[in-house]
Amino acid sequence: MEVKARAPGKIILSGEHAVVHGSTAVAASISLHTSVFLAFPSHSGNDDTLKLELKDMALEFSWPVGRIKEALAEFSSAISSSPTSCPAECLRSIGALVEEQNIPEARTGLASGMSAFLWLYSCIQGFKPATVVVTSELPLGSGLGSSAAFCVALSAALLALSDSVSVDMVHQGWSSFGEKELDLLNKWAFEGEKIIHGNPSGIDNTVSTYGNMIKFKSGSLTLIKSNLPLKMLITNTKVGRNTKALVAGVSERTIRHPDALNFVFNAVDSISKELSAIIESPVSGELSITEKEENIAELMEMNQGLLQSMGVSHASIETVLRTTLKYKLASKLTGAGGGGCVLTLLPTLLSGTIVDKVIAELESCGFQCLIAEIGGRGVEISFNGASS
């Protein structure tokens, strides 16, 4: 028995940082995915091991199922087939299982993701042998929702081969879950995210689960349907950043300059609302698409200027902005800032030659460039080896 699931990453189109201070923000799925392949051994085999293979990193970990069961024996009452938070004591036991593995020193950040894997697997599938293979098009730790995409794809694969959901196993190619199943899946993925991040907002896993776009403000999430095909160049500066420190920096600046920053946050709120209205409104003809793209480009540039005034830009981000501006393209940082990724809108009528030139120039600076469609489908599953 086997299944493959894939879940998209995410970007923040507008409103990062300001959302912490009550402004509206808009997030969207991107056509870059994390995929999870799950296979159970045949009954004739005697393999009693749970294997986790991280293919992109050429890493493989394994646990005897009996060892997992023994480690979690005293927490059997906490392990549930409905979405459940991992108790602190249980998380320590899972952490011990992870520590038994030979994780390379440069990859110690994987430990929390492996803990999330063991919790979700044990809850949804119980203590049984299997092979789980993970591949991803998303760079880790760059603000593109790689951990959420992993939790969503993993939850999807585990649930698809459980009794908790009803799915069509004979469908050819990729298929989606029903609304009820998506809600369950999203709750499980959120529990995984909590193990990885402690206190996540739930935005990343929700975007990855449902796809399309989400408008959020003061803890309230609203799914929005995009009527506009958008394509972005995503430039990964490869500069690490401390999200908590950046968020704290904006708050400290707000204390020093409350009036000025409140005007900034209100402006960001207006930009997010206008952006979502443009995206949701019907499209009629090429001219309408071009006009909408021009308006979105202006809003992105304005949002970037406001993010700079919050103090969350970085020399690497400014290099991307200068490079894309030479080609009259609009860019803005996405996520925490201080490095991370930068979005550049690629208009429908832009020539491929220009795109190639921009990418070549950015890559010569040591940056990684990815092209993605924005606001596409959420998590999907396949039972027959779908590859695209």
Write the pLDDT tens digit of every residue in 227-247: 888 999 999 999 988 888 999
Give the CATH number for residue 111.
3.30.230.10
**pLDDT of amino acid 99:** 92
Question: Measuring CA to CA, which residue among 295, 370, 360 is closest to residue 327?
Answer: 360
Considering the chain, what is the average pLDDT of its residues? 92
Q: How confident is the model at residue 213 (pLDDT cuts 50, 70, 90)?
A: very high
Alpha-carbon gap, residue 205 to 10, rounded angstroms: 9
Asked if 79 and 186 sit in the same domain, the reply is yes
Interval 45-86: pLDDT, tens: 667 999 999 999 999 999 999 999 999 988 887 788 889 899
Arithmetic mean of pLDDT, 328-342: 95
Alpha-carbon gap, residue 262 to 256, rounded angstroms: 11
**pLDDT of amino acid 386:** 54
Task: Report strand pairing: 130-136 vs 49-54.
Answer: parallel
Interval 244-253: pLDDT, tens: 899 999 999 9
Q: How confident is the model at residue 180 (pLDDT cuts 50, 70, 90)?
A: very high
**pLDDT of amino acid 192:** 96
**pLDDT of amino acid 275:** 96
What are φ and ψ of residue 85, in 5° steps? -75, 145
pLDDT exceeds cutoff 70 at 329: yes
Asked if 147 and 266 sit in the same domain, the reply is no
Inter-axis angle of helices 146-160 and 179-197, nearest 10: 130
**pLDDT of amino acid 45:** 63
Give domain status of residue 388, yes or no.
no
Q: What is the DSSP letter of 211?
A: B
Asked if 65 and 205 sit in the same domain, the reply is yes
Alpha-carbon gap, residue 160 to 177, rounded angstroms: 9
Asked if 68 and 205 sit in the same domain, the reply is yes
**pLDDT of amino acid 77:** 79
Asked if 164 and 215 sit in the same domain, the reply is yes
Give domain status of residue 387, yes or no.
no
Q: Check if 204 is active-site.
A: yes
Residues 290, 295, 298, 303: is their CA dihedral positive or negative? negative
Give domain status of residue 122, yes or no.
yes
User: What DSSP string describes 136-192?
Assistant: ESSPTTSSS-HHHHHHHHHHHHHHHTSSSS---TT--S-B---HHHHHHHHHHHHHH
Give the CATH number for residue 248.
3.30.70.890
Range of the domain at 44: 2-224+376-382
Of residues 388 and 378, more confidently modeled: 378
Asked if 65 and 164 sit in the same domain, the reply is yes
Catalytic residue, candidates 56, 204, 269, 356: 204
User: What DSSP string describes 238-272?
Assistant: -----HHHHHHHHHHHHHHSHHHHHHHHHHHHHHH
pLDDT exceeds cutoff 70 at 286: no
- Look up the pTM and report it: 0.92
Give domain status of residue 73, yes or no.
yes
Q: How many domains does the chain have?
A: 2
pLDDT exceeds cutoff 60 at 387: no
% residues pLDDT > 70 (the chain)? 97
Of residues 168 and 234, more confidently modeled: 234
Interval 81-135: pLDDT, tens: 889 899 999 999 999 999 999 888 778 789 999 999 999 999 999 999 999 999 9
% residues pLDDT > 90 (the chain)? 79
What are φ and ψ of residue 239, in 5° steps? -95, 120
Q: How confident is the model at residue 7 (pLDDT cuts 50, 70, 90)?
A: very high
